[in-house]
Amino acid sequence: MLGLMQRRELLISSIIQHAARHHGEAEIVSRRDDGRIVRTTYRALERRARKLMGALRELGVRFGDRVATLAMNSDRHLELYYAISGMGAVCHTINPRLAPNDIAYIIGHAEDHVLFVDACFAPLAAAIAPRVAAVLRAIVVLAETGEMKQLDLPPGVAQLDYESLVEAADEQDDWPVFDENTASGLCYTSGTTGMPKGVLYSHRSSLLHAYAVNSADAVAMRATTRVLPVVPMFHVNAWGLPYAAPMVGAALIMPGRHLDPVSLRALMDGERVDLSVGVPTVWLALVHHMRQTGGGFRTLKRIMSGGAALPRALVAAFAELGVEACQGWGMTETSPVVTYNGPKPATAALTGEARLDHAVRQGRALFGADVRAVGPDGAEAPWDGGSQGDISCRGHWIAKGYFRAPESEIADDAWFPTGDVGLIDPDGFLLLTDRSKDLIKSGGEWISSIELENIAVGHPDVAEAAAIAAPDEKWGERPLLIVVPRQGHEPRPEELRAFFKGKVASFAIPDRVIVAAELPHGATGKILKHELRRLYAGGK
For ligand AMP, the closer of residues 14 and 334 by Cβ is 334
Does position 372 bind ligand AMP by CB under 6 A?
Answer: no
CB proximity list for 330: less than 8 A, separation 6 or greater: 236, 239, 306, 336, 337, 338, 339
State the binding string over 349-368 for ligand AMP (x if CB under 6 A, else -): -------------x------
- Catalytic residue flag (residue 415): no
Range list of β-strands (E), 24-174: 27-31, 37-41, 66-70, 90-93, 114-118, 138-142, 158-161
* Integer Cα distance of 448 and 454 in angstroms: 10
Nearest CA among 313, 315, 317, 291 for reference residue 305: 315
User: Residues 179 to 198: which contact ligand AMP by CB under 6 A?
Assistant: 189
Nearest CA among 499, 447, 500, 501 for reference residue 472: 447
Count of chain residues binding ligand AMP (CB under 6 A): 18
35 DSSP 8-state letter: S
Does position 306 bind ligand AMP by CB under 6 A?
Answer: yes
Does position 435 bind ligand AMP by CB under 6 A?
Answer: yes
79's enclosing H/E stretch is helix 75-86
Among 139, 308, 456, 480, binds ligand AMP (CB under 6 A): 308
User: Residues 222 to 251: which contact ligand AMP by CB under 6 A?
Assistant: 236
Of 121-129, 220-228, 325-333, 498-506: span binding ligand AMP (CB under 6 A): 325-333
- To the nearest whole angstrom, how small is the minimum distance from the Cβ of residue 340 to ligand AMP? 9
For ligand AMP, the closer of residues 161 and 420 by Cβ is 420
User: Residues 121 to 140: which contact ligand AMP by CB under 6 A?
Assistant: none
- Catalytic residue flag (residue 397): no
- Catalytic residue flag (residue 477): no
* Integer Cα distance of 41 and 27 in angstroms: 5
Does position 331 bind ligand AMP by CB under 6 A?
Answer: yes
Does position 102 bind ligand AMP by CB under 6 A?
Answer: no
Among 186, 315, 381, 432, binds ligand AMP (CB under 6 A): 432
- To the nearest whole angstrom, how small is the minimum distance from the Cβ of residue 322 to ligand AMP? 23
- To the nearest whole angstrom, how small is the minimum distance from the Cβ of residue 517 to ligand AMP? 32
Helix, strand or coil, per DSSP, at residue 205: helix
CB proximity list for 360: less than 8 A, separation 6 or greater: 309, 310, 311, 312, 315, 431
Does position 422 bind ligand AMP by CB under 6 A?
Answer: no
Catalytic residue among 46, 180, 271, 333: 333
Among 14, 74, 327, 347, binds ligand AMP (CB under 6 A): 327
Exposure string for 250-275, b = 16+ CB within 10 A, e = fewer: bbbbbbbbebebeebbebbeebebbb
- To the nearest whole angstrom, how small is the minimum distance from the Cβ of residue 424 to ligand AMP? 14
* Integer Cα distance of 72 and 233 in angstroms: 6
* Integer Cα distance of 404 and 222 in angstroms: 38
- To the nearest whole angstrom, how small is the minimum distance from the Cβ of residue 187 to ligand AMP? 9
* Integer Cα distance of 214 and 355 in angstroms: 23
* Integer Cα distance of 313 and 357 in angstroms: 11
Catalytic residue among 445, 446, 475, 477: 446
The CB-nearest residue to ligand AMP is: 331
* Integer Cα distance of 356 and 330 in angstroms: 21
* Integer Cα distance of 341 and 331 in angstroms: 16
Of 9-17, 106-114, 270-278, 302-310: span binding ligand AMP (CB under 6 A): 302-310
- Catalytic residue flag (residue 446): yes
Binding site for ligand AMP (CB under 6 A): 189, 236, 306-309, 327, 329, 331-332, 336, 362, 418-420, 432, 435, 446
- Annotated catalytic sites, by residue? 189, 333, 441, 446
